[in-house]
Structure 1
Amino acid sequence: MKTRIMTTKLAAAAALALLLAGCANGGGTTTEESAPAGGYDAPSASSSMAAEGVTSLSTAETELGQIVVDGKGMTVYQFDKDTQGADTSACTDECLTAWPPVHGEDVELEGVTGEVGTITGNDGQPQLTLNGWPLYYFASDKQAGDTTGQGVKDVWWVLDPAGEPIK
């Protein structure tokens, strides 16, 4: 069963943006707003983007158990140095190069049971959260099903469908 959600903050922001759009000249998205963050190819937030700007999160069965992946099957991770439920990420600078955030606003879920939300990531883009944990990719994961980030430095973990780290 697929579920499509838009986080509460984003729904309110969208309503405000529509209200303000009637007062502004011009419109649309600037190049700066629409350009992908980073500048590296794989994996990127665009790898999880489905049609019409929808990000997909689903589950996959792996040797680690059932884990959360994006719409292309790329594994997503949680960082122990983040504070669950906080509005910020502890991953900055070089960390973001190795662990790019999972971007998204409008989310389609399949098999994911934890609460999905967003924070403003350290790259300025909306970063998805699951069960209060900011979500990341691992740059060394090159194809769907890779879980090479699992347990890196004993602080990076895949998540189960409820958003609990699998350690």
Structure 2
Amino acid sequence: MSRSTIAAVALVFAASLGLAACGDGSAGATVGSSTQAGSAVKDPSTVKIADSSLGKILVDGKGRTLYLFTADGKNMNSMKCDAQCLKLWPPMEGKPKAGAGADAKLINTTDLAGKPQATYAGHPLYYYAPDKAAGDVKGQGIDKVWYVLDAQGNAVKKAPASPDQGNYGY
């Protein structure tokens, strides 16, 4: 192998390791599409249960879908994520109150670099930046590690109803 081939392979390998922190990247879309969606309105003051194409799921006060990352420990953020990944999967910060259908006993926080990150049933909560409106579930099932939660705090592993949702990688 030539030096340029080895260098190219090393560069591709290093880039793939950077994406692995948020999943394996196998879903195939680009990260660049997420930056515009990061401006969608969030309301971390409340978590509640709302109807969606996946059934009744956990959302914030504005109806934005909340996700769990299966590699997180109980009440522990285990995600090793760079700045680009954090733009795509921003944590829900603060300690929300229980809204309609949510169980106040399941709400807590974990430490996120000195700030509280909301948890539900022990799962740290995250948004998915491309979810632009209440009811969007575009992050569902990405890399088989990102899922919405039901009212009991369990991962909902059902596939999204619409073929244009849930197949966005980074």
SS at match of 2:147: strand
**CA deviations over 1:51-86 (Å, ceiling 9, x no partner):** xxxx11111111211000000000000001111233
Bigger strand fraction? 1
CA deviation vs aligned residue, 1:78-114 (integer Å, no higher than 9, x gap): 001111233x332421321210001122524321126
SS in 2 for 1:61: strand
Query: In the alignment, what sits opposite 2:109?
Result: 118
Q: 1:74 to 1:153 in 2, by over 3 A?
A: same
SS in 1 for 2:152: coil
Matched, 1:92 2:81: yes
Instruction: Show structure 1 runs of 5+ residues with no match.
Output: 1-39, 50-54
* Residues 26-37 of structure 1 mapped to structure 2, 5 A cutoff: none
Distance 1:41 1:62, change over 3 A: closer
* Number of corresponding residues: 120
The alignment's TM-score, normalised by the length of structure 1, stands at: 0.65
1:43/1:137 contact within 8 Å kept = no
Query: Following the alignment from structure 1 to structure 2, what is the Cα–Cα distance between the partners of residues 98 and 41?
Result: 8
Secondary structure at 1:95's aligned position in 2? helix
1:104 is aligned to 94
Query: Higher Cα Rg: structure 1 or 2?
Result: 2
Q: Write the mapping of 1:76-87 to structure 2, written as runs, cut at 5 A.
A: 76-86=66-76
1:42 correspondence with 2:59: no
TM-score by length of 2: 0.64
Change (3 A) 1:41 1:64: closer
Shift of 1:134: 0.2
RMSD between aligned alpha carbons?
2.1
